[in-house]
Structures are given as C-alpha cells and as structure tokens.
A and B are shown apart, each in its own frame.
Chain A
Amino acid sequence: MSFAAYKEIIEEGDTVILHIGHENMYPLTVKKGETFQTKYGALKHEDLIGIKFGSKVHATKGYMHVLHPTPELWTVNLPHRTQILYSTDISMVLMQLDLVPGNVVVESGPFSLTLSGTGSGSLSHALIRAVAPTGHLYTYEFHKQRAEKAVEEFKDHGLSDLVTVNHRDVCMDGFGLDHIADAVFLDLPRPWEAVLSAKQALKLQGGRICSFSPCIEQVQRVCEVLSESNFTDVTTMECLVRKFEVKSINMPEPDLGDMKDPHELGQGEGEGHSSDVKREQVDDNGSPQVKYAKVEGSSGWQYKHKTRKNSEMFSFRTALPPHQMPGHTGYLTFATLYSE
C-alpha cells in the first residue's frame, strides 16, 4: 500500500526498500514471521512493523535504513536484466509526454523491458505517479503470465484503481482504445506497427507519442511512419547519465631536485640578480617559500642532492566519473499529433 502515497509508519504488507550500504539496496514486502538475510546478518520483518520509514534498523551484525519506496528507488533496485528503462530516460519520457494529473496514458511493451520479472515496471510506476489521482494508465502485455503478475503487483502496491492491464498483442490487435488518451508510450521491437492504433487511441484534440528503441534502424522506420500518419514535430534524442564519485585526492608533487641556493653556496647577493626568476610556493602552513630557479653563475645549473622527508602533496577534491558506464540505453523518439 505504500506506493500510492507517502505514509509515516510501516505496516504489514508494505513494500519497503532496505538501504544496506552505498549502492546496496533491496526491495522487501513486510510479512510477519519472515526474516531477510543481509550481509549484516538476519533481519526480522517483525522489527520493521510499527516503526517510521527512514528509521535505522538493527540486524544481528549491523544496522541499515528502511526507506519508503519511490518509483526511482524501485528502478535502481530491480535486478537488472538485459534492458530496462533507466530513470534518466523515464524522466525525459514523462516530461516530453506533457503528463499531468488527470491524463490518460497508454503504455505498451513487453514487460521484460519495462517490467522486470520479479518487480513491477519502473516506467509503469512513474506513469501512474504522473497521472494520479484522477488519471489512468492502460498497459499492454502479450505474455499471459507476466500480465497476470503485473495485475497482482499493482494490487500489492495499492495502484489497482489507476491502472488497467490488458493481455494483448498490440502490433497484431491494436490497443482497442478510441480517442481517450493524452499520450502513448511504445516500447516494442516493431513500433511502427502500432503507430496507427496509437493514433486511434489518442484524443481527437491531439496528444503526444513516444517510442523507445535501442537500434537506429527502428528509429528510422518509426519516424517515417509517424510522419506519414500526420504526427509532427518528430524529434529523436539520446540521454545518458554520468554518476560522479566525490573524492579527496592527494597528488604527490614531483621531486625535480633542489635548485642551487645562492645564499647557501655563498654567492654574492648582487651577483646575477637581474636574471633571477623567483617562484613562489605555498607550503602546508601557508607560508610562502621562495626558491631560486635559475641562477646566473659561473657553472649555470647546480643540483643539490637532499632526500625529502615528507614529500609534498597537491590536495584537491574532485568528482570522478566512472571508468565504465552505460554508453547507450535507447533512442527516444517523440512526436505530436495535433487536432485535425
């Protein structure tokens, strides 16, 4: 029941997100008598009932936080299959489809993409959030078991009133909706086959459509069909997220050897003054050290060999991008249908 609106206290049957550590979270449905194994030991479900969302809970060997589910936390924590829609793409879809409370939105896609096998679809949840409390989501799935599973999960999450799950092959049989939708989302291997039916589903006053495809050939074809079907403002984009790690870095200063110091070497101060190049360095205490980089003398450059006890460090804070990140999720194609 905890998806539809925020609540304060955890009750039995609620879906919660266990935050065990950085990037280490698990979704959990609270059931009396069950235990959940974590790397910090066993956690009794009973311990969660009656406490506040956001509380610290103790397992046998450590503690963790229990969080309120949101579509985003849900997306992060789904066991990642080959392809799912990431929050970055989902954000863009919601924005570009102009969704507001009260809208009717249609989503079609094999739930293997938008809905993971074990949890509900991340996009479905985000779409429902966008149109609730007075709007509706029509979602289509051609795989019977998955459709049934989806119905069950929306019920568990307290969202049944806001969504209709249809077991149907959209490309073959269409959406079966007549001019009731404000927006349509397609996540299909052959999206162009569903464009006309999508047009039929959109309100007569017009609406927005989105097609998500991983391959450019799919984009090419769907764009052609969209234009032929009188959709306009067709745009295709790609959106990638870079996650940074904030770190303090200490970089050793290079030891280029000490310069010849005219004072130590007993050279006259007046000698070669004109060509002295002063370099200022600030040491750890903040006091400037003056070094003579080049001294005009009889022998030119001189090196003094001295081992450094504490090597100097250049310290700074930085945001490190990851060494590896998703380089492609899919192309998002958007278009508008205006009233004719």
Chain B
Amino acid sequence: MQLETTDSTIKENDQVIIKKEEHLKVMQVRKNRPFWMEKIKFTLNGLIGQPYGTTFEVKNGQMVRLSRKSSEEEKDADGTSGIDNRNLNDCRSNQKLSREEIYKMKKEGVSGESIVETLVENSSTFRTKTEFAQEKYIKKKKKKHLNVFTVLKPTTRLLCEMHYNKGPSKICNLRVDSLSQMLVYGNVRAHSKLMVVETCGGLVLGAVMEKMGGYGTVVQLYTGTAPVRQTLEAYNFPQHFYDSLHAFPLNKVNCLEEGEIIRQHNKNISEVQVKTEPLLLGNYGGKTSEQNIEDISDVPKEGVSEFELKKEETEEDTVTENENGLSSDRDVSKESETQNEENQEGKGAISCQQIAKRKLEEERNAKRQLKQQHLEKSRQILLERNMDGLLVACKLNPTPIVMSLMEYVAPSRPIVVYCQYQEPLMECFVKLRQRGGVVHLTLTETWLREYQVLPGRTRPNINMSGTGGYLLTGTTVIV
C-alpha cells in the first residue's frame, strides 16, 4: 500500500512522464531503447536508479543529471539593457551567428547553455532590449536549444494535462477541473464500489482507481468487444489494483438478469451483439450519435479501434493470467510437461506440432473460461444492486446509460455524468426528473483561468480554455 509514497526511484520498465517546458510525454524506461522527443534522440538508461523529479540534460544521446539551480543563480549578471524598443527593427542580420554555425556547435556536442550564451553574444540588439525583453529572449532561446527534461511520476493531474494539451478530443475534452469534480462529486474513495462508463482511453478509470488506492471494487462498463484502457498502463498500478477491476459489456446491460445470454457470450459474440444492441437502443427510440461524433473526430474509427482492441486483448490476457496467481496456467503447463515426457518416452518426436496445437487450444479454452468467470463475477456484483455510484464520461448519449445503470446504484449514492455538450445533459436532467429517484440534480460548468504572476506584471494568461465540458450530478433516493 505504501508503494505510491515510498517508491520514489525510477526503475526499469516504469512508465514515466518526460517533461520539457509544457510538453509532456509518457515513456516506458527500457534499457537501450532510443526515443525521440522534440527532435532529439536519446535513451533513458541514465534514469534507472534516480529519484523522480530529477532534471536531465541530453548530451550525446545520453541523459546527464543536472543539479537544480536556485533562481538566484539564473539571473543574468550582465546589467546593460535598453529602456524601450524604439531602436529595434525585426531583421535577420541582428543575429550574426548563422544556422549552419549553430548546427555545427550542436554536432560538436556544445552544451545548450553555451549555445544560448553564444547567441546572446552574437546578437547585435540584445544590449538595447529592455530587461524584460532580454529575459524573454533568453527564455525563448533556451527553450529551443536546451535539451533539458524533467522526469516525473505519472499522476492523474499530469496525464489529464498531457491528453488535454495533445488531443482533447480523445478524452472527450475532459479538462482537469471537470475530472477532479467527477471524483469529488462521485465521492470516490477507498472501499467504494463504483460503476464507470468512459470513452477517455482509460483516463477516468485510472483516476478512479488511483483515488481508490486498490481498495474496493470498480466495474467498467464498456462498448465494443473489449474495454479500452491504454492510459491505465501509465499509472504503474501494482497488480492488486487490477484485482479490484471488473468489466462488463454495455450491450449486455439490458439482459443482465438472464444468465443464458452471458454464457453464450464467448461462443458467438457477433450474434449476441446483433440481438442485444437494438434492444438497448430500442428503449429510447433514437440511434446513438456515435456515428456522427466519429465523423467529426480526426481519427479514422476502424484503424484505431482495431489497434486498441488488439492491444487490449494482449493486455487483458496478461492481467488475467496474473490475476489468478498463474495457478491455472501452471496446471496447464504441468499437464503438457507430463504429456511431453510421455510422448518422448513412447512415440518420440512424432508430432511436436500436434502437441503444440493441443496446448494452444487448451490455453485458449482456459482463457475463454477465465473471461467467462470474470464476466459472471461482474454480473454478480452488479446484480447486488448496491453500487456506491455511477460515473459517466463518454461520447455516447448519456441518458440511456444513466437510466439503465441507475437500477444498480444503492439509495443515497452519487451519480455523476460528464458530457462535452450541454444538451445531452439537459435531456438527461429532464428524464431523471420525470423518472424520480434522484434528488439534488445539478447541472454545472466550470471556468478555469490561469495567471502569470511576476513582480509588477501579474495578470491573467492571454489564452484560456473556452470550455471544460459540463457536469450533471445527483443523489439517488428510494422512490
């Protein structure tokens, strides 16, 4: 349990966040594996054994640890500066150093720091710039030429920031303040028993699991054939966190009580899907707007989902194997070992291929059965109808999801629905009012503004995010 707090050194195979200025990137620490960031190629070998939060400079493709400078030292000692920009003209000849010369310096392995110094020396206008402009100039040049990175432990805060800055459409434009409110209004804490519906690549699920710290139960209700959870990897959750995670397909929700259909699940996925999907939609008349949204989003649906699914499948497999303490797999391998021996004694190497084939089939069967058991387990959890809350953040129309899944939430528990659009939540609000059984229904939006704080120059940032999405919250009651 103390893992999060005591584990402060970087280990091989850890997922880490590499930060350069505002750029964040999740990477796995693998020996000798080169990676690219901001046009620089390097390996992460130097990270292993170092504490999180360390700052590195890339020199000759290797990471070299930097000592943290106090802000005092960073101030420029050279005092000459101008009063305003009346004599400054935007002109290329202001910088005497040519592009080729800079490139040559870089190739020779000159440090970023000294490149910036040389640039300042060779700037004919630097001394006439105002103090503020000088500072800005240095900052700009440093950003360009200094290959300094900070290595951070992935947290929900950083992962949300990273995704929001990189491609907010992939996380339904879920801004950090909205996500934080989902967790707070959902009363997410250790020992909760929650339902999560999300299409944010696992960010919301990961956030929920992080805040639960491995205690309690989460059931992820997913669309498609397997849950999408790629962001989960970045959290470095210990194995026991996954023991509390369950999954159940959304397209089986309407027939949750009929065990038969679940049993068919693996035999004929496609057939069941065809049967149940219209059932789910039929209740609320319209079609889901998934198609429309897919059209808008920049990623081609087919390619991505296929990729995700494949990835997911392998992931899930490793998870399930570990989940059962490898017991079933060991049995299988033992069995096949004895078989191997028998075969070697008796028939020799008649049919290695056959054995391999059989082994593969057995493994597949075992996996299928495991999946079946997990599905049944999730179903049983839901059927207790005492979930501690429902969190929804997805690109599907939330109303049918909320109306169906509300049945499984205990009384006096929170329901939190996030949507990047306001109208679906208005609809949900009205439907919940009509249905009853929910009090304290609240539709909100938050406004988030960051500030530049500098002596004598404090003001809001020039740009701010226009929307962080909308939130509908309420508390279930006995009707």
Contacts and interface: CB of A to CB of B under 8 A. Distances in A.
Chain A contact residues, majority secondary structure: mixed
Contact of B5 (A103, A220, A236, A242): A103
Interface string B189-212: 111100000000000000000111
Interface string A303-332: 000000000000001110000000000010
Contacts of A199: none
B458 A220 contact: yes
Interface in B458-479: 458, 475-479
A130 interface: yes
Contact of B185 (A53, A87, A219): A87
Nearest to A52: B411
B151 to A, nearest CB: 10
Interface in B169-195: 176-177, 179-181, 183-185, 187, 189-192
Contacts of B475: 19, 54, 67, 73
Contacts of B213: 100-102, 134
A319 B2 contact: no
B181 A88 contact: yes
Contacts of A117: none
Given A133-B215, A241-B445, A317 B477 contact: no
Contacts of B412: 52-54, 66-68
Contacts of B52: 205-206, 339
B210 A100 contact: yes
B284 interface: no
B70 interface: yes
Interface residues of A, number: 74
A96 interface: yes
Contact of A240 (B8, B180, B447): B447
Contact of A95 (B5, B150, B179, B446): B179
A99 to B, nearest CB: 8
Interface in B391-412: 410-412
A318 B425 CA distance: 11
A302 interface: no
Given A6-B388, A67-B412, A336 B177 contact: no
Interface string A62-104: 0001111011110000000000000110111011101011111
Given A129-B189, A205-B52, A237 B448 contact: yes
A244 B478 contact: no
Contact of B53 (A19, A72, A339): A339
Contacts of B150: 338
Interface string B1-26: 11011001000000000000000000
Given A65-B478, A241-B446, 12 more contacts: A95-B183, A98-B156, A98-B157, A206-B51, A206-B52, A216-B458, A230-B70, A232-B68, A237-B450, A242-B446, A242-B447, A338-B53
Interface of B: 1-2, 4-5, 8, 51-55, 68, 70-72, 150, 155-157, 176-177, 179-181, 183-185, 187, 189-192, 210-215, 386, 388, 410-414, 422, 426, 429-430, 439-440, 442-451, 453, 455, 458, 475-479
Interface of A: 5-6, 8, 19, 22, 25, 52-56, 65-68, 70-73, 87-88, 90-92, 94-96, 98, 100-104, 126, 129-130, 132-134, 182, 203, 205-206, 216, 219-220, 223-224, 227-228, 230, 232, 234-246, 317-319, 331, 333, 336, 338-340
9 contacts: A54-B478, A68-B413, A95-B183, A96-B180, A100-B210, A133-B215, A205-B51, A237-B449, A242-B445
